[in-house]
Chains A and B, each alone.
Chain A
Amino acid sequence: MPTPTSPPTPASPTPPGEHLLEVRDLHIEFRTGEGVAKVINGVSYHLDPGETLAVLGESGSGKSVTAQAIMGILDTPPAHIRSGQICYQGRDLLELPEEQRRQVRGKEIAMIFQDALSALNPVFPVGWQIGETLRQRLGMSRADARRRAVQLMELVQIPGAASRLDDYPHQFSGGMRQRVMIAMALAMEPKVLIADEPTTALDVTVQAQIMDLLADLRRDLNMALILITHDLGVVADVADRIAVMYAGRIVEHADVRSLYRAPAHPYTKGLLESIPRLDQRGGKLSTIRGLPPNLMRIPSGCPFHPRCPYVQQVCVDVVPHDLVLGDGRTSACHFAQEVHDDRAG
C-alpha cells in the first residue's frame, strides 16, 4: 500500500486566481420559518481548465446548493450566503453586480439539471428554447438561431435533429430530453459545465450513454466539468478528482484512483462498502447506519460522529480540519491516517 509522503498536516489555502474556478470557504444558510438551516459550512473546491471534478454526497449534503451558488441562481431569501468567495478567472463572482453576474451565466459557466422534463419549459418547442440564448445574448436572427440549434442537437447526437426542432419537451424520451438540456447549455460554448445529477432520472443503459456523451463533449470542447452525483459508480470512469460532501462540508477530496483504492474518511469508506459488488455474492451488503443530520441541528464536533464506526470522544468535542495526506488528498477526519491505512475494515 502507498504510504503518505508526509505526516498529516493542516491544509493551507492556495492564493486566489490560480484556478479556473475556485470556491473558497463558502457558508450558506437557509432562513425559514422553522429556523436557520446551515446548508453549506465552509466548502472549498477548485477546478482547472479541462478537468472533471465529481462532487459526491447524499441528498441534502449541499452539493446542489454549492453549484447553484456558483451559478448565482439561489433564491435569496430563503438562502443567504454568509461568507466565502467564488472566484472565476480571478474575479469573485459574489462581488459582481447582478448584470455582470448574468453575463457569466450560460456563457462562461453553464448548468444542466437532474429532471430535464421539468427543467425545460413545457410550452415552448425545444428548438426555440435552445435558440433563445443565441437570439437574446448574441442577437442572432431567428433563422440563424434555428440553424445553430440543429447543429447543437446534432452535436449531442439527437437523431433527426432538424425534424425535431419544433417538438415539445414532453414529446422526447428521458435520454433525449437530457440531450436537449445539454445542447442548450452548450449554446454559448461555456468553459465550465456543471451537471447536477444529469443521469439520476434515467434508465441505467441511458445513464451510461449520457455519461459517455458528457465525457466526449468535455474532451472535444475542452470544457471543465463539475459532475454532481450521489452515485459512486457513475463517477469512476469520467472524473479526475472527487470531492465527497457531508452536512455541507467537504469531508474528503482526492483523485479518483487513490480514493477508490483507499478512502481516508469513514463516510467515503461507508459509501464504497455499500456498493453491491459481483465478487461479494451472497454476503450481506453493508450500509452506513443512521440518517443524515438535520441541518438545523448539526451534531457537535465532526458532524458524522453519530454514524461513524471510528468515533472517539475527540470527534464529539472538536471539529476536524482538513488533513493533507499527500498527493493533494485531504480528509476532514481526526483519524484520517488510521482510516486510510485500515483497508481490511
Chain B
Amino acid sequence: MFRFIVRRLLQMVVAFFGTTLIVYALMFAGQGDPIQALAGERPVTAAQRAYLTEKYHLDATGFGGFFYRYFDYLSNLLRGDLGESLTGRPIGEILANAWPVTIKLALIAIAVAVIFGVTAGVLAGIRRGSIFDNSTLLLTLLVLGIPTIVLAPLAQYLLGVKWQLFPATSGADPSFYALLLPGIVLGSLSLATALRLTRTSVAENLRADYVRTARSKGLPRRRVVTVHVLRNSLIPVITFLGVELGNLMSGAIITEGVFNIPGVGFNLFRAIRTEDGPLVVGIVSVLVVVYLVSNLVVDVLYAVLDPRIRYE
C-alpha cells in the first residue's frame, strides 16, 4: 500500500507538469498580442507597453520565450505564488474567496445525493420491481435526461422566481440557505447516478451466495441486509461519491453561473470569457492538484473498503 501511494504521488508530479504545460500553452501560445488583449479596445501607450513587456517577459519570443515564461510561472507556482490576474488581483486571494463557497455547494450536493440517492437506492434494490422501484427509475431517468443547462434555470424560475421558496440568486457572500437550491440542482445528477448504482449493487448482492449462507446461519433478515448486503453493496457507491466529490470541488460552471454564485467555476468561466490567461492557468493548476489528490484518496479508500483489493 505504501509503495502504491508513493508511486501514485510520483505519477501525480508528472500529471501535474503535463497538464499545466498544456493549459499554459493553450492559453498563451496562440495569443496574438496579449497586451492589446489586456487593454481591450483602448489604446496602449508606449510606456505602458514597455512596462508590461518587461513585467511578463514578453520580449523573448518563439518557443524559447514560451518556455522561459512557463518555467518562470512554474517556479513562482512552486513557491506558492499563483501570480496576479490581468485585473491586478492576486490569484491566490481570488481562490481563497471562491473555494469556501464551492466547497459548501459541493457538500450540500453530496449530502443530497447520499441522503436521498443512497437511501432510495437501497430501498429500490430491496424491493426490486415494486412501484417504488419503478417510480425511482422513471424519476432518475428524467433527471439524467435533462441537462443542467436546462434544469438549473428551470429550478431557478419555478422555485426561486415564481413560487419564491428559495433565493433566486446568491450574492457575494452566499448563506447556506442561498446555496440550498443550487446545491440540490447540482446534487440531483449525483443523486440519480448514486441511486441507480446503489439499487443495482444491492439487488445484485441480495442474490449472492453469501446472503444464502447468512440466512442459513439463522440471522434475522434485517441483519442480513444491513450488515452483509450493505457492507458489500456500498463499496462501488462510496467510490463513486468520492470521485464525484472531487469533481464538485472543482466547481460547477453552469450551476454557479446560473445562480450567480462566486465560486471556483464562476471565476473560471469569467476568466475564460475575459481571456484572463494568468487566472485561467492559475485556477486550472490548482484544480488539477485537487482532482489528482481526490482520485488518490478514492483509490486508497477502495482498498480499505474491499479487502480483496491490494495495490502492490
Q: Which residues of A line the B interface, CB within 8 A? A: 68, 71, 73, 102-107, 110-111, 113, 115, 118-124, 132-133, 136-137, 168, 170, 181, 184, 187-188
A-B contacts, 21 listed (Cβ < 8 Å): A68-B212, A73-B216, A102-B219, A105-B215, A105-B217, A105-B218, A111-B216, A118-B210, A119-B209, A119-B210, A119-B212, A120-B210, A120-B213, A121-B213, A121-B228, A123-B305, A133-B218, A170-B307, A170-B308, A184-B213, A184-B217
Q: Which residue of B lies closest to A137 (CB)?
A: B218
B139 in the interface, Cβ–Cβ < 8 Å?
no
Interface string of B293-312 (1 = CB under 8 A from A): 00000000000011110000
Q: Which residues of B contact A120 (CB under 8 A)?
A: 210, 213
B80 in the interface, Cβ–Cβ < 8 Å?
no
CB B221 to nearest CB in A, in angstroms, measures 8
B220 in the interface, Cβ–Cβ < 8 Å?
yes
B231 in the interface, Cβ–Cβ < 8 Å?
yes
Are B307 and A113 closer than 8 Å at their CB atoms?
A: no
B89 in the interface, Cβ–Cβ < 8 Å?
no
Are A115 and B209 closer than 8 Å at their CB atoms?
A: yes
The 4 nearest A-B residue pairs measured at CB: A106-B218, A105-B218, A118-B209, A121-B210
A181 to B308, CA, bound (A): 19
B223 in the interface, Cβ–Cβ < 8 Å?
yes
Are A133 and B219 closer than 8 Å at their CB atoms?
A: yes
CB A106 to nearest CB in B, in angstroms, measures 4
Q: Which residues of A contact B208 (CB under 8 A)?
A: 118
B119 in the interface, Cβ–Cβ < 8 Å?
no
Count of chain B residues with Cβ under 8 Å from any Cβ of A?
Answer: 21
Q: Which residues of A contact B213 (CB under 8 A)?
A: 113, 119-121, 181, 184
Among B168-220, those with CB < 8 Å from A are: 208-210, 212-220
Are B214 and A121 closer than 8 Å at their CB atoms?
A: yes
Q: Which residues of B line the A interface, CB within 8 A? A: 208-210, 212-220, 223, 228, 231-232, 235, 305-308
Are B308 and A73 closer than 8 Å at their CB atoms?
A: no
CB B235 to nearest CB in A, in angstroms, measures 8
CB A281 to nearest CB in B, in angstroms, measures 40
CB contact under 8 A between A113 and B212, given known A121-B228, A122-B232, A123-B306: yes
CB A161 to nearest CB in B, in angstroms, measures 19
A110 to B214, CA, bound (A): 11
CB contact under 8 A between A71 and B216, given known A118-B209, A118-B210, A119-B210: yes
CB A225 to nearest CB in B, in angstroms, measures 15
A120 to B220, CA, bound (A): 17
Are A107 and B218 closer than 8 Å at their CB atoms?
A: yes
Q: Which residues of A contact B307 (CB under 8 A)?
A: 122-123, 168, 170
A271 to B311, CA, bound (A): 48
CB A66 to nearest CB in B, in angstroms, measures 14
Are B232 and A106 closer than 8 Å at their CB atoms?
A: no
Are B210 and A168 closer than 8 Å at their CB atoms?
A: no
Q: Which residue of B lies closest to A122 (CB)?
A: B308
Are A113 and B209 closer than 8 Å at their CB atoms?
A: yes
Q: Which residue of B lies closest to A181 (CB)?
A: B213
Inter-chain pairs besides A103-B218, A110-B217, A121-B213, 13 sampled, C-beta below 8 Å: A73-B215, A102-B220, A113-B212, A115-B209, A119-B209, A120-B210, A120-B213, A121-B210, A122-B307, A123-B231, A123-B235, A136-B223, A184-B217
Q: Which residues of B contact A105 (CB under 8 A)?
A: 215-218
Q: Which residue of A lies closest to B205 (CB)?
A: A121
Q: Which residues of B contact A181 (CB under 8 A)?
A: 213
Are B218 and A102 closer than 8 Å at their CB atoms?
A: yes
Are B210 and A122 closer than 8 Å at their CB atoms?
A: yes
Are A132 and B210 closer than 8 Å at their CB atoms?
A: no
A181 to B209, CA, bound (A): 12
Are A168 and B212 closer than 8 Å at their CB atoms?
A: no
Q: Which residues of B contact A104 (CB under 8 A)?
A: 218
CB B129 to nearest CB in A, in angstroms, measures 10
Indicate the member of A104, A110, A121 with the most B CB atoms within 10 Å: A121
Q: Which residues of A contact B228 (CB under 8 A)?
A: 121
A111 to B213, CA, bound (A): 8
Indicate the member of B218, B219, B220 with the most A CB atoms within 10 Å: B218
Which residue of B216, B219, B235, B308 is within 8 Å of A136 (Cβ)? B219
Q: Which residues of B contact A136 (CB under 8 A)?
A: 219, 223
A41 to B72, CA, bound (A): 83
Q: Which residues of A contact B218 (CB under 8 A)?
A: 102-107, 133, 137, 188
